[in-house]
């Protein structure tokens, strides 16, 4: 098992190295960047001090050298937690992304847990009561949930919440807590703001996963071992939950790896609509402004999450299915 | 034909030197030098039937119309004997077995008739129980156990063999997990599983098909059921393994005196294993008799055709194998009269295609549903010339 983990870790590092080179190359390819703008801005100011500044900047980021040297300078900073500098926001990348990445992760994992928590029982019910009225209702809601664009759903939920629940929508905190130190009241205020993005982000994947769960369970219920379990006197509830559901969880677990980045990109649109300080809007803005160090770092972080998510999914799969365990 | 020599059970997956196996005195597994005890002869009659099925009807409402899988099936499973049920695919063999356990797949359901179980605990009317009732679940596994066709898919891939056998024991016999596990290992040993401890800890995909079928049998026998239903247990296995499993089932009958209902489409298996045989066609029983009756004196044209279509060693190789003309009718349509009449070479026009033949007796314990043997007609028709 340890060997497997070590081997996978090596693969992951290699994957991330390749991803970092590629993403940096692509971001650096078009002419002009936030850094070159900064330099020309300094040049227009003139003066001896700025000349020295420009020289220092050029030296630090290797502006006049090949992109590979620039990449080397950027990536070597990673060892001591220096991810570069945002020239549009005038802040180090490190201090920009950590809190945002944390919030993005919180939203994504929260949404994924909601999606799992709802889709498994709903899918099981749908499959075991196939073609009944509740199943048809669930199916219709699922199709709507899969089809509706997230930004639209976000707007709908916002409107409903603001009009009928009197909720303060948008942002993470009410204005009085915005700059207040952490307290219980601030925490509950955060939760009151978080449910809307959670619902919006979770809706699409819940609908999708319910569909997957239903289809998969219907498939598994046709298996002979389900009949075997019934034939030895196992109660119907246990037949479903112990013998059938565990065999139909594979695609749901695999989604842990694959819906993770999807959730984060979906979260970008939702966050723009709901004005949340997550990683998505930052990535979009940095790409627009060619703020290459911010964009590169975020892309690398998201890739790392994807790779780690897949690894965790694989580990979970070995837990639920012995056939994979032995195959390793 | 009965009692023909079957290969001795020493397959590659069963090492001959296996000390645990040999110490078991009441092992079901075949051992060298243990003569198969002759089954105790009990006079035949309704009284010694462990399971009585009367006019059983099962329907499957589908989008294309109602499929009548069983149209009034009546038979008894004699105590302590092996009853074979033969017929081609779709004749209702498996549905009969599932109806007895009330595990017919949706949307199929029993629409008429009765199933009576006579066990130590008295008589139970199975069709009167709800499929999900506690009493029905109590019967499954403890009174009536079942072995399925596909050993590859009839065990749950995510639980160990031991856990799956112990599950049945935990439901019916003990609440103690350790005891249940011991019982599971013990059962695996009894069915001749090499290294029963290791087998109990392994997952289905780690075992061969024959070993999985042994595990299934161990599971079925773990609660000492009164009746064992085997639904084509050897169809998916190769001949050597099939012989081993048949030997095992014979031993189960001989040592535990278990009543076995053995479903198969292989006449060869019937000849090797069964004492009585039922031939089914399109959801009806067409003939019933002892193995000797059926093989040496088959009455129903369908039975005769089935026997003629068995390839034999020593026959003229160039002669094509005999087949039954036509094919099984579409299950959604209902055939008027005798279900076999469209394919029957001896069908009587105006009679076979209008009325369902009633039961007629062809000898002691030998019954047939065919107009050729209906009382008033018997003298008019002669036996067909060819041998069966």
- Within a domain: A121: yes
- Within a domain: B268: no
Rounded to 5 degrees, what are φ and ψ at B260?
-125, 135
Mutate to test the interface with A, among B146, B156, B183 (most CBs of A within 10 A): B156
- Within a domain: B23: no
Does A236 contact B132 at a Cβ distance shorter than 8 Å?
yes
- Within a domain: A116: yes
Does A232 contact B168 at a Cβ distance shorter than 8 Å?
yes
Q: What is the mean pLDDT of residues A136-164?
A: 89
Band the pLDDT of A241: cuts 50, 70, 90. very high
Q: Work out the minimum CA distance from B145 to partner chain A, whole angstroms.
A: 7
Alpha-carbon gap, residue A146 to A103, rounded angstroms: 24
B145 to chain A, any CB pair closer than 8 A? The answer is yes
* Residue at token pair 């959801």: B283
Q: What is the mean pLDDT of residues A211-218?
A: 93
* Residue at token pair 């500098």: A85
Does A232 contact B153 at a Cβ distance shorter than 8 Å?
no
For the cut 50, the answer to whether the pLDDT of residue A26 exceeds it is yes
Helices (H), A148-249: 150-164, 184-221, 224-231, 236-238
Does B153 contact A246 at a Cβ distance shorter than 8 Å?
no
Does B157 contact A323 at a Cβ distance shorter than 8 Å?
yes
Mutate to test the interface with A, among B132, B136, B158 (most CBs of A within 10 A): B158
- Within a domain: A186: yes
Q: Domain range for residue B368?
A: 303-377
pLDDT for residue B195? 93
Does B154 contact A228 at a Cβ distance shorter than 8 Å?
yes
Alpha-carbon gap, residue B316 to B304, rounded angstroms: 19
Band the pLDDT of A263: cuts 50, 70, 90. low
Nearest residue in chain B measured CA to CA from A223: B153
Chain A CB contacts of B171 below 8 Å: 232-234
- Within a domain: A216: yes
Does A231 contact B141 at a Cβ distance shorter than 8 Å?
yes
The DSSP annotation for B315-331 comes to S-SSSPPP--SS-PPPT
pLDDT for residue A326? 56
User: Measuring CA to CA, how many Å separate B198 from each of B17, B40, B160, B184, B202?
Assistant: 16, 36, 10, 12, 6
- Within a domain: B153: no
- Within a domain: B50: no
Band the pLDDT of B241: cuts 50, 70, 90. confident
**Portion 263-322 of A in contact with B at CB < 8 A:** 320-322
Pick from B1, B146, B115, B97: nearest CA to B50: B115
Total domains in chain B come to 2
Does B168 contact A233 at a Cβ distance shorter than 8 Å?
yes
Q: Length of chain B in residues, anyone?
A: 388
Alpha-carbon gap, residue B41 to B208, rounded angstroms: 37
Chain B CB contacts of A235 below 8 Å: 132, 137
User: Measuring CA to CA, how many Å separate B280 from each of A39, B123, B290, B300, B351?
Assistant: 92, 26, 15, 11, 21
pLDDT digits (tens, 9 = 90+) for A91-130: 888 888 888 888 888 888 888 889 999 999 999 999 999 8
B224, B241, B263: which is the final residue of a domain? B224
Instruction: Classify the phi-psi angles of A90: left when phi > 0, otherwise alpha if psi is within -120 to 50, otherwise beta.
Output: left
What number is the ipTM of this complex? Answer: 0.79
Mutate to test the interface with B, among A233, A234, A248 (most CBs of B within 10 A): A233
- Within a domain: B15: no
Q: Domain range for residue A194?
A: 105-290
Q: Work out the minimum CA distance from B268 to partner chain A, whole angstroms.
A: 26
B224, B241, B260: which is the final residue of a domain? B224
Rounded to 5 degrees, what are φ and ψ at A235?
-70, 155
A74-78, A221-225, B220-224, B356-360, range with the lowest pLDDT:
A74-78
- Within a domain: B185: yes
Q: Which residues of A66-91 are buried (b: 16+ CB within 10 A; e: fewer)?
A: eeeebbeebbebeeeeebbbbbbbee
The rounded percent of chain B whose pLDDT value lies above 70 is 85
Chain B CB contacts of A247 below 8 Å: 156-158
Does A225 contact B167 at a Cβ distance shorter than 8 Å?
no
Pick from A198, A327, A324: nearest CA to A249: A324
Does B148 contact A227 at a Cβ distance shorter than 8 Å?
yes
Q: Work out the minimum CA distance from A219 to partner chain B, whole angstroms.
A: 13
A324 to chain B, any CB pair closer than 8 A? The answer is no
The partner residue sitting opposite B140, judged by closest CB among A222, A231, A246, is: A231
**Local structure of residue B181 (DSSP, 8 states):** H
The partner residue sitting opposite A232, judged by closest CB among B105, B140, B153, is: B140
B155 to chain A, any CB pair closer than 8 A? The answer is yes
Total domains in chain A come to 1
The partner residue sitting opposite B157, judged by closest CB among A229, A234, A247, is: A247
B224, B250, B265: which is the final residue of a domain? B224
A and B: number of Cβ contacts within 8 A: 79
Band the pLDDT of A264: cuts 50, 70, 90. low
For the cut 90, the answer to whether the pLDDT of residue B101 exceeds it is yes
Chain A CB contacts of B108 below 8 Å: none
Nearest residue in chain B measured CA to CA from A231: B140
Pick from B85, B79, B106: nearest CA to B97: B85
Query: Which H/E stretch holds residue A110?
Result: helix A93-128
Angle, to 10 degrees, between the axis of helix B161-172 and the axis of helix B209-221? Answer: 10
**For position A185, which CATH number holds?**
1.10.3720.10
- Within a domain: A231: yes
**H helices, E strands: number in chain A:** 14, 2
Q: Work out the minimum CA distance from A132 to partner chain B, whole angstroms.
A: 13
Instruction: Classify the phi-psi angles of B33: left when phi > 0, otherwise alpha if psi is within -120 to 50, otherwise beta.
Output: left
Q: Work out the minimum CA distance from B110 to partner chain A, whole angstroms.
A: 17
A241 to chain B, any CB pair closer than 8 A? The answer is no
Rounded to 5 degrees, what are φ and ψ at B192?
80, 30
For the cut 90, the answer to whether the pLDDT of residue B107 exceeds it is no
The rounded percent of chain A whose pLDDT value lies above 90 is 19
A235 to chain B, any CB pair closer than 8 A? The answer is yes
């Amino acid at each position: 098992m340890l060997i497997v983990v070590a081997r996978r870790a090596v693969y992951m590092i290699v994957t991330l190295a390749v991803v970092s080179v590629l993403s940096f190359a692509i971001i650096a390819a078009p002419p002009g960047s936030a850094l070159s703008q900064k330099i020309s801005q300094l040049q227009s100011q003139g003066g001896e001090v700025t000349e020295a500044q420009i020289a220092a900047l050029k030296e630090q980021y290797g502006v006049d050298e090949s992109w590979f040297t620039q990449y080397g300078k950027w990536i070597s900073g990673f060892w001591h937690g220096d991810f570069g500098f945002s020239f549009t926001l005038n802040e180090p990348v490190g201090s920009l992304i950590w809190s945002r990445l944390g919030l993005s992760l919180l939203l994504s994992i929260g949404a994924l847990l909601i999606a799992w928590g709802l889709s498994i029982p709903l899918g099981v019910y749908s499959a075991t009561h196939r073609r009944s009225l509740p199943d048809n209702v669930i199916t219709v809601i699922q199709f709507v949930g899969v089809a509706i664009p997230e930004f639209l759903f976000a707007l709908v939920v916002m409107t409903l919440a603001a009009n009928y629940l009197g909720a303060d929508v948008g942002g993470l905190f009410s204005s009085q807590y915005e700059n207040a130190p952490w307290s219980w009241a601030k925490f509950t205020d955060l939760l009151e703001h978080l449910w809307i993005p959670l619902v919006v982000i979770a809706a699409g994947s819940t609908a999708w996963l319910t569909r997957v769960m239903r289809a998969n369970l219907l498939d598994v219920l046709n298996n002979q071992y389900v009949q075997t379990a019934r034939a030895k006197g196992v109660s119907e509830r246990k037949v479903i939950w112990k013998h059938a559901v565990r065999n139909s969880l594979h695609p749901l677990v695999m989604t842990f790896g694959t819906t993770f980045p999807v959730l984060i990109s979906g979260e970008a649109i939702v966050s723009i609509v709901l004005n949340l300080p997550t990683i998505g809007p930052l990535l979009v803005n940095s790409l627009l402004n060619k703020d290459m160090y911010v964009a590169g770092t975020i892309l690398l972080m998201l890739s790392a999450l994807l790779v780690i998510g897949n690894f965790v999914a694989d580990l979970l799969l070995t837990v639920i299915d012995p056939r994979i365990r032995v195959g390793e | 034909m009965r009692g023909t020599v079957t290969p001795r059970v020493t397959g590659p997956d069963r090492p001959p030197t296996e000390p645990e196996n040999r110490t078991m005195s009441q092992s079901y597994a075949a051992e060298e030098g243990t003569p198969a005890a002759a089954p105790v002869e009990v006079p035949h009659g309704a009284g010694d039937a462990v399971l009585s099925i009367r006019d059983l009807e099962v329907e499957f409402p589908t989008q294309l119309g109602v499929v009548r899988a069983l149209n009034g099936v009546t038979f008894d499973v004699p105590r302590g004997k092996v009853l074979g049920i033969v017929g081609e695919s779709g004749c209702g063999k498996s549905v009969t077995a599932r109806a007895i356990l009330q595990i017919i797949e949706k949307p199929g359901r029993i629409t008429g008739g009765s199933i009576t179980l006579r066990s130590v605990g008295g008589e139970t009317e199975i069709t009167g129980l709800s499929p999900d009732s506690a009493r029905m679940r109590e019967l499954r596994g403890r009174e009536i156990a079942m072995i399925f066709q596909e050993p590859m898919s009839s065990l749950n891939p995510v639980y160990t063999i031991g856990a799956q056998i112990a599950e049945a024991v935990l439901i019916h016999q003990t609440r103690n997990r350790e005891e249940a596990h011991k019982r599971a290992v013990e059962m695996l040993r009894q069915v001749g599983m090499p290294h029963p401890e290791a087998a109990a800890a392994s997952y289905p995909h780690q075992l061969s098909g024959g070993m999985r079928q042994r595990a299934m049998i161990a599971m079925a026998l773990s609660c000492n059921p009164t009746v064992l239903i085997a639904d084509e247990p050897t169809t998916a296995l190769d001949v050597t393994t099939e012989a081993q499993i048949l030997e095992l089932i014979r031993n189960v009958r001989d040592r535990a005196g278990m009543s076995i209902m053995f479903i198969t489409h292989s006449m060869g298996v019937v000849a090797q294993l069964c004492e009585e045989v039922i031939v089914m066609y399109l959801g009806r029983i067409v003939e019933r008799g002892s193995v000797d009756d059926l093989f040496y004196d088959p009455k129903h044209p369908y039975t005769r055709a089935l026997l003629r279509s068995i390839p034999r060693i020593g026959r003229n190789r160039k002669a094509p194998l005999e087949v039954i003309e036509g094919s099984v009718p579409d299950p959604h349509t209902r055939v008027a009269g005798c279900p076999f009449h469209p394919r029957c070479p001896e069908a009587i026009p105006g009679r076979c295609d209008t009325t369902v033949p009633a039961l007629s007796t062809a000898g002691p314990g030998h019954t047939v549903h065919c107009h050729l043997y209906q009382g008033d007609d018997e003298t008019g028709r002669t036996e067909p010339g060819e041998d069966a």
